[in-house]
């Protein structure tokens, strides 16, 4: 593909006359370069936010409750308090992303995660641990909105979904590494005041600080700020995003876009409820899987290792579904397909009365429910136009994530241990509801697109006849509702 500059016409797009002195740009080389610089840091940040949360799962089987004198529902309240703070902090974090560069906001928050995770080792009672977990929830609230915005700055709508999948695999990697860390820490010496779970929190906290430093130093806030891109490559990125109706638009607050997202766009709220339904079983199984496995009669070391295949399943499901989307497999249908093994797993875990192996297989299959969430993130990112509406949409989805994780732990009733039948039935019921809501979302997108066929064709005709300037298109601040030529992908 030949390189373009602002004074060079492309695909019938009218522009100003003048010589082009920029070299040709090969898209494959360009995106290999972007992937190498951007994706590993996004993966690392998502990996750490999950690992920071799930450490409490492993600490629980390493003597956390005994060391801190916890009892009853207090452990469940640790997870609930985290996600109450997470949900409340979404809109303040969204305001920060609106006002300041997203990569900088992300890096500072990751730095604060490291401080708080390390501080967990100093907790001596339930109250101090609750305070640390609540603050951690406030600062981790940035993760999903920030990564969706950052991805949208670099990739077209078709290109972005596999990248969502790659950084979202940090969740599965967190399950795997968390199990190994827990297993290793349980083999360390146990001192009266410094048990293995405290060592685990310090080690992971320090790793957070390292990654935060790398994000602040190496992750560009915009393509224009990337010193490793040439001018021709920066222009090529802007051009591709504009023609694809992608990107984030200018960072200008627009009240009308905020009101539209919260009050008038049913698409936003369907994704909100879909997120809640997906995350209830996902959050339960990632937070309590080691506890459930131990309840089957395994010791804590075996429970840590036996939780590792859950991470493998979630990675395979995530990469499989996102690359299927790259091959034009329908996104909403992908969500429905992924819920089938989830339902089978929920049935095995909840109602199977045979061997331990069958119940373990059920827990592993439930981890397919992790993958649909990345498709929800992708739909939120690619089907929302305008910077303010994108920030709002991302915050709403993240609030849904937090609410689901508030509900999920409370289904684990201490007096039902070790069976936890209420939690198991909840997982089974909401997994079925996901299929219904995903089908509704598909029908909504199809209906909206049928209303826009004529407008979209007129826009494409304008491109081909040279009536639209690429720079004019880049400045459009319309939302996806206002822009009658916007086409939803599903």
Percentage, residues of the chain above pLDDT 90: 31
Write the burial class of residue 469 (CB in 10 Å: 0-12 exposed, 13-18 middle, 19+ buried).
Answer: middle
pLDDT in tens, 42-77: 999 999 998 888 788 778 777 888 888 888 778 878
Place of tokens 């066929």: 453
- Note whether residue 136 is domain-resident: yes
SS3 135: helix
Mean pLDDT across 414-419: 69
pLDDT in tens, 277-303: 998 887 777 666 766 777 777 777 777
Is residue 388 a contact partner of residue 254, using CB atoms and an 8 Å limit?
A: yes
Q: What pLDDT is stored for residue 467 in this prediction?
A: 55
pLDDT in tens, 76-86: 788 788 888 99
- Give yes or no for residue 453 having a pLDDT over 50: yes
- Note whether residue 134 is domain-resident: yes
Nearest to 43, CA basis, from 215, 210, 200, 203: 215
Is residue 70 a contact partner of residue 126, using CB atoms and an 8 Å limit?
A: yes
Which of 34-48, 317-331, 361-375, 408-422 comes out lowest in average pLDDT? 408-422
Q: What pLDDT is stored for residue 98 in this prediction?
A: 84
Mean pLDDT across 306-317: 88
Q: What pLDDT is stored for residue 427 in this prediction?
A: 82
Q: What pLDDT is stored for residue 113 in this prediction?
A: 94
Q: What pLDDT is stored for residue 4 in this prediction?
A: 40
- Note whether residue 230 is domain-resident: yes
State the chain's mean pLDDT as an integer: 82
d(CA 166, CA 315): 9
d(CA 61, CA 72): 15
The more confident residue out of 396 and 406 is 396
d(CA 450, CA 446): 6
Percentage, residues of the chain above pLDDT 70: 83
Tally Cβ neighbours within 10 Å of residue 391.
29
Tally Cβ neighbours within 10 Å of residue 354.
8
d(CA 332, CA 329): 9
Q: What pLDDT is stored for residue 11 in this prediction?
A: 35
- Note whether residue 6 is domain-resident: no
Peptide bond into 418 cis (omega under 30): yes
Which tokens go with 310? 């859950």
- Note whether residue 3 is domain-resident: no
Which of 1-15, 35-49, 139-153, 414-428 comes out lowest in average pLDDT? 1-15
- Give yes or no for residue 5 having a pLDDT over 70: no
Write the burial class of residue 296 (CB in 10 Å: 0-12 exposed, 13-18 middle, 19+ buried).
Answer: middle
- Give yes or no for residue 17 having a pLDDT over 70: no
- Segments of 206-340 assigned E as strands: none
| Domain with 301 in it | 27-474
Q: What pLDDT is stored for residue 137 in this prediction?
A: 93
Domains: count for the chain: 1
Mean pLDDT across 14-35: 68
Radius of gyration of the chain (CA): 23
Is residue 212 a contact partner of residue 105, using CB atoms and an 8 Å limit?
A: no
Q: What pLDDT is stored for residue 192 in this prediction?
A: 47
Tally Cβ neighbours within 10 Å of residue 351.
13
What CATH number does the domain containing 277 carry? Answer: 1.20.1250.20
- Note whether residue 488 is domain-resident: no
pTM, two decimals, is 0.81
| Cα angle, residue 57 at apex, residues 122 and 354 outer, rounded to 5° | 155
Q: What pLDDT is stored for residue 468 in this prediction?
A: 53
Return the exposure string of 147-166: e unless at least 16 CB atoms fall within 10 Å of the residue's CB, then b.
Answer: bbbbbbbbbbbebbbbbbbb
SS3 101: coil
- Note whether residue 266 is domain-resident: yes
SS (H, E, C) 8-34: CCECCEECCCCCCCCCCCCHHHHHHHH
pLDDT in tens, 372-404: 998 998 898 888 888 888 888 988 998 898 888
- Give yes or no for residue 442 having a pLDDT over 90: yes
d(CA 309, CA 323): 21
- Note whether residue 12 is domain-resident: no
Mean pLDDT across 9-29: 53
């Amino acid at each position: 593909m030949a390189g373009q500059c602002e004074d060079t016409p492309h695909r019938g797009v009218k522009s100003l006359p003048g010589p082009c002195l920029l070299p040709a740009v090969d898209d494959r080389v360009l995106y290999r370069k972007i992937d190498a610089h951007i994706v590993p840091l996004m993966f690392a940040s998502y990996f750490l936010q999950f690992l920071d949360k799930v450490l409490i799962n492993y600490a629980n089987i390493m003597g956390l409750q005994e060391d801190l004198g916890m009892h009853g529902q207090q452990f469940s309240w640790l997870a609930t308090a985290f996600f109450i703070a997470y949900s409340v902090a979404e809109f303040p974090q969204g305001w920060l992303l609106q006002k300041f560069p997203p990569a900088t906001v992300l890096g500072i928050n990751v730095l604060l995660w490291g401080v708080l995770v390390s501080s967990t080792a100093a907790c001596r009672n339930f109250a101090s641990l609750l305070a640390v977990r609540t603050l951690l929830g406030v600062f981790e609230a940035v993760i999903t909105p920030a990564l969706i915005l950052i991805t949208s700055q670099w990739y077209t709508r078709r290109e972005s979904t596999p990248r969502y999948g790659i950084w979202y695999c940090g969740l599965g990697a967190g399950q795997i590494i968390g199990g190994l860390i827990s297993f290793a820490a349980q083999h360390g010496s146990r001192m009266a005041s410094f048990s293995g779970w405290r060592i685990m929190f310090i080690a992971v906290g320090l790793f957070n600080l390292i990654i935060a430093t790398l994000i602040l130093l190496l992750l560009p806030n915009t393509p224009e700020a990337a010193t490793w891109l040439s001018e021709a490559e920066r222009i090529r990125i802007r051009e591709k995003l504009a023609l694809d109706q992608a990107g984030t638009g200018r960072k200008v607050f627009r009240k009308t876009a905020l009101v539209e997202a919260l009050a008038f766009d049913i698409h936003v709220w369907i994704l909100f409820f879909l997120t809640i339904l997906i995350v209830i079983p996902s959050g339960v199984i990632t937070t309590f899987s080691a506890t459930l496995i131990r309840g089957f009669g395994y010791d804590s070391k075996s429970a840590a290792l036996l939780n590792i295949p859950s991470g493998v399943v979630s990675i395979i499901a995530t990469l499989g579904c996102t690359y299927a989307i790259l091959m034009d497999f329908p996104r909403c249908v992908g969500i429905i397909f992924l819920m089938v093994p989830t339902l089978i797993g929920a049935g095995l875990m909840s109602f199977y009365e045979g061997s331990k192996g069958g119940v373990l297989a059920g827990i592993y299959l439930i981890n397919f429910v992790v993958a649909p969430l990345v498709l929800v993130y992708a739909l939120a990112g690619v089907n929302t136009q305008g910077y303010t509406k994108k920030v709002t949409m991302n915050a709403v989805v993240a609030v849904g994530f937090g609410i689901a994780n508030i509900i999920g732990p409370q289904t684990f009733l201490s007096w039902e241990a070790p069976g936890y039948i209420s939690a198991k039935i909840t997982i089974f019921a909401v997994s079925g509801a996901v299929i219904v809501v995903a089908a509704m979302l598909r029908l909504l997108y199809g209906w909206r697109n049928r209303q826009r066929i004529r407008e979209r064709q007129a826009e494409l005709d304008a491109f081909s006849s040279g009536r639209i300037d690429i720079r004019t298109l880049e400045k459009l601040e319309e939302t996806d509702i206002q822009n009658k030529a916007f086409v939803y992908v599903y």
